[in-house]
Amino acid sequence: MNIYHLDHVQIAIPAGGEDQARAFYGDVLGLTEVPKPANLQGRGGLWLTGGDLKLHLGVDSNFVPARKAHPAFLVHDLDALVARCLNAGYSVASDEPLAGYDRTYVYDPFGNRIELMQLISAD
């Protein structure tokens, strides 16, 4: 038995945060909402996709933002996405350089840390 692929990432959100999540993850980051299976819809939250990414936002009744643990999303135009985040009023933060990438962090409406990374061309 070998693990061979990551199916999805789940991020916790507080109850009632779905509209704020749609605005950030959909409108700002550009992910597309997909229907949750009927048997899971009553739990709240939402599912999104983008490229090969599958992101599940799950309601946690004891929500605490993930300020250290985070997913890292590969993007094509980091500068443009950072500008969209800033223009929409979201906080971004830089970190130590990482060989082969330009990267930054953005905080979702609930305080969860999300890393945005762009591969640096080897030209």
Domain residue extents for the chain: 9-119
φ, ψ of residue 113 to 5 degrees: the values are: -85, 130
Handedness of CA 42, 73, 82, 91 (dihedral sign): positive
List the structure tokens of 90: 């979201």
Instruction: Please provide the CATH number assigned to the domain covering 9-119.
Output: 3.10.180.10
pLDDT confidence of residue 122: 61
Q: According to the model, what pLDDT value does residue 123 have?
A: 55
Cα 34 to the center of its chain, rounded Å: 15
Ordered per-residue pLDDT tens for the chain, 123 residues: 798 899 999 999 999 999 999 999 999 999 999 999 999 999 999 999 999 999 999 999 999 999 999 999 999 999 999 999 999 999 999 988 899 999 999 999 999 999 999 999 765
What is the bridge-based pairing of β-strands 101-107 and 92-93?
Answer: antiparallel
Amino acid at 78: L
Whole-model pTM: value is 0.92
